[in-house]
Amino acid sequence: MNNQEHILQCSFCGKTKKQVNKLLSGQDDVYICDLCVELSHGILTREDKQKTLEQRRKRLRDIYATPTPREIHEYLNQYIVGQERAKKSISVAVYNHCKRIFNATRVPVQKSNVLLLGPTGVGKTLFAQTLARFLDVPFVITDATTITESGYAGEDAEVLIHKLFQNSDYDVVKTEIGIIYVDEIDKKAKRNDLVSLSRDVSGEGVQQSLLKLMEGTTLKVPNKKGANPEEVVIDTSNILFIVGGAFVGIENVVMQRLGKSKIGFKEAGGKVEQNWEDNLETQDLVKYGLIPEFLGRLPSVNILHELNKEDLKKVLTEPKNSLLKQYQALFELDNVDLEFNIRGIDAIVDIAIEQDLGARGLRKIIDNALIDVQYELPELAAKGVKKIVVSEETIRHGRKPHMIKGSIN
């Protein structure tokens, strides 16, 4: 009997019982060793993963159509003023991102994550929100300053995936093609002598945490709320990351590299003109404090320009959901027409420029000017007010706007 045990061997690889940890017997004297079981499991798992991937791609193709760069650009134009170069670049990046998700490629293609540089109020958040709305995918926005290294107090970067899962109504496939926007990433740059702003010492650790998600990993997240929710696995490989920041002082980094007297820099009244942007390179962002590996996962780098007076006037009036149109729609619900005359619009823009608020500050200016009118609006409508005209005096000095009673033709 002992001699017979010694000659028992795996029917697939030929290894004897002494050469393996376990030898399992089957019918008709067929045996398989633990090594062949593990190998077979690996082959089946890879085949299952490939089958699952193709099934997901098919479902995505059934739900979504890949938009062309022109279609993306035209949609962005409806909501975003100016920033033409950035709109075109981001349209191409998103187009390539969609093609990569919905189709198998002959060679691995890097994900087109996006970095947006620009001061407050130029539309960084609006870009991300508009893209998510156009693509009809779940969207999460967060501030980099709220993210901490794993193990420290604060919000772990991986929590972003769970939030995205919640915003997709717990749909795994939709979650895996969602968009995450991380603002103020420059506040998580490493401390740098060239830039005077104080930075979080854990900045590199936070960049590393985000890098893991951007590169593509799998995470287990709770499927539903509750005391003991079951978990599902989310693959982050196809989640589009858009990160933004003001990067105050980045021009000084570029200037030091090139030299102040080099082409591309002019001084007017002691203020450096903005054409440093044409000379921005990856090494400048590394010098600023972003780690090379993190930047390597952000192939689409876009600079958003500060909005001038004409741009801000267009922001107020031209987009499909412009601020003035939003206020007018709210007043219409009380059967009151709202009008801003030219000098009133100029006053809103001038205050935004004077206070360095950018487009983000426009709403605050209008709210401050109209808070009393909005409070009294139901009573005014009941008294027969049909039209309210907002002028410079209302915006700058808080005077009551002109009110017109009776029918409006």
Structure confidence at residue 40 (pLDDT): 82
- Please list, in sequence order, all residues whose beta carbon lies within 8 angstroms of the beta carbon of residue 88, skipping any fewer than 6 positions away: 69, 73
CA distance 273 to 320: 32
Round the CA-based radius of gyration of the chain to a whole number and report it: 29
CA distance 295 to 29: 58
Coil/strand/helix, residue 176: coil
Q: In 3D, which of 107, 104, 114 has the Cα closest to residue 60? A: 104
User: In the CATH hierarchy, which fold is given to the domain comprising 309-405?
Assistant: Helicase, Ruva Protein; domain 3 (1.10.8)
Structure confidence at residue 379 (pLDDT): 95
Domain boundaries, the chain: 2-49, 65-303, 309-405
The verdict on pTM exceeding 0.75 is no
How far are the Cα atoms of 78, 85, 369 from residue 316, in angstroms, in the given order? 13, 21, 15
Q: How far is CA 5 from the centre of its chain?
A: 63
Buried b / exposed e along 22-42 (16+ C-beta atoms within 10 A): ebeeeeeeebbbebbeeeeee
Coil/strand/helix, residue 219: strand
Beta bridge partners of 181: 141, 242
Its sign, for the CA torsion 342, 344, 347, 351, is: negative
Structure confidence at residue 249 (pLDDT): 87
Structure confidence at residue 64 (pLDDT): 62
Residue 15, both tokens: 């290894």
Its sign, for the CA torsion 112, 117, 118, 119, is: positive
Structure confidence at residue 107 (pLDDT): 72
Coil/strand/helix, residue 157: coil
Structure confidence at residue 4 (pLDDT): 46
Q: How far is CA 113 from the centre of its chain?
A: 9
Ordered mean pLDDT values, 10 residues apiece, the chain (409 residues): 62 87 86 87 64 56 73 92 90 86 70 88 88 87 79 65 90 87 87 49 78 88 69 88 90 83 47 66 90 91 90 92 94 95 94 88 92 94 94 93 78
Q: In 3D, which of 240, 231, 27 has the Cα closest to residue 131? A: 240
Coil/strand/helix, residue 331: helix
CA distance 13 to 31: 10
Structure confidence at residue 106 (pLDDT): 67
Q: Which CATH superfamily is domain 65-303 in?
A: P-loop containing nucleotide triphosphate hydrolases (3.40.50.300)
Residue 227, both tokens: 């005391």
HSE-up (13 A, CA, CB side) for residue 222: 9
Coil/strand/helix, residue 114: strand
- Please list, in sequence order, all residues whose beta carbon lies within 8 angstroms of the beta carbon of residue 56, skipping any fewer than 6 positions away: 173, 176
